[in-house]
Amino acid sequence: MGTQNPFACKTCGRAYKRKSSLYNHMRWECGKEPQFKCSYCPYKGKQKIHFIMHVMAKHKEHKADVLNSACSKDAK
């Protein structure tokens, strides 16, 4: 465990600068299967915000479709 990233996950060893980042990793990422799959490329993500950021950066022409879909799923 280095001083740069003193908070390490006991499961996978990934280390973070902040305890809150480690907590988020353990809650949302570590050991979880990606549930957000891109329809336009092989990308898979574990967090919706990362998926949305991927589409906005890589598939700008489909941004509106993805954002509308994500918002309609949140409303349910």
Q: What is the pLDDT of residues 31-72, one digit of tens each?
A: 999 999 999 999 999 988 999 999 999 998 988 887 777 665
- State the angle between helix axes of 48-58 and 63-75 in degrees (0 to 180), rounded to the nearest 10: 160
On whether the 1-32 domain is CATH 3.30.160, my answer is yes
Decide if pLDDT at 73 tops 80.
Answer: no
Write down the domain spans for the chain. Answer: 1-32, 36-75
Alpha-carbon distances of 44 from 14, 19, 50, 65, 72, rounded to whole Å:
19, 26, 10, 17, 20
Contact status, residue 58 vs residue 43, Cβ threshold 8 Å? yes
What's residue 72's pLDDT?
A: 57
d(CA 46, CA 71): 17
Angle at 6 between CA 32 and CA 22, to 5 degrees: 25
What's residue 30's pLDDT?
A: 94
pLDDT tens-digit series, residues 14-30: 999 999 999 999 998 99
